Amino acid sequence: MKNKFKGLSLATYGIVLICFLLPFVNVTCDNEQVGNFSGIKLLTGVTIDRSDSDLFGGSGKQKAEPELLAIVAFCCGVVGLAFSFKDNKINFIIRILVGGFGTAMLALLTSRIKEGVLKESGGLLQVNFGIGYYLCLIFFLAAIGINIYIFSQSGNSLPVRDNIANDRKFCPKCGAKNRNDNEFCTGCGNRFG
């Protein structure tokens, strides 16, 4: 299974994970940045210092819990990377599936974050997604395409049930189905030959 794109799946999933270090979410109010969160901050949670802002009616610190959808998307990247070290049918299928699942988690993350920020701020804050988010999304999609392409070029195909006629023969006299190694028809006793 020699292919010039063999290491590309590994690199693609590696880049997905690196993208979590970049800015994922930017929160603004009247075009002024209020918060900037990397993918890692979404994974681990973050404490937001509200002492500089009167937006939420008070000061203090607020804990933003880890974002489950970001955690699942990151785990998809880890699984894709882990299964990129060896090429076989199952690994290709797993890499394609986790790429799709990671993409779906990022898409759901978009609406969840926007909805949460709008609800919390009463519509005062806007959410923009950063370069890390968009690169992560692009590389998940690229991983899907790359793995589908490599899979299709490697001579693998999805399992297809063998035609039962390949290991059977039919009696020319009565039409009964018989095993290839039968000397006589099981239906009428006719000798094959």
* Domains of the chain from N-terminus onward: 8-153 (1.20.140), 162-193 (no CATH)
The reported pLDDT for the residue numbered 139 is 96
* Residue 51: burial class (beta carbons within 10 Å; 0-12, 13-18, 19+): exposed
Express each pLDDT in 86-115 by its tens digit.
888 899 999 999 999 999 999 999 999 999
Backbone angles phi, psi at 61, to 5 degrees: -110, 140
Q: How confident is the model at residue 180 (pLDDT cuts 50, 70, 90)?
A: confident
Express each pLDDT in 56-75 by its tens digit.
555 557 777 899 999 999 99
- pLDDT higher for 44 or 167? 44
28 half-sphere exposure, CB direction, 13 A CA radius:
9
Q: Give the Cβ contact number of residue 143 at 10 Å.
A: 30
Query: In the predicted model, is pLDDT for residue 83 greater than 90?
Result: yes
Express each pLDDT in 21-33 by its tens digit.
999 999 888 888 8
Instruction: Give me the mean pLDDT over the 71-80 stretch.
Output: 96
Going by the DSSP 8-state scheme, the letter that residue 170 receives in this structure is E
- Rounded to two decimals, what is the model's pTM? 0.72
Q: Which two tokens stand for residue 152?
A: 């299709």
Report d(CA 114, CA 132) in Å as an integer. 17
Q: Which two tokens stand for residue 20?
A: 């979590």
Q: Which two tokens stand for residue 145?
A: 């395409």
Report d(CA 129, CA 177) in Å as an integer. 64
Express each pLDDT in 123-170 by its tens digit.
888 899 999 999 999 999 999 999 998 888 876 555 545 444 467 888
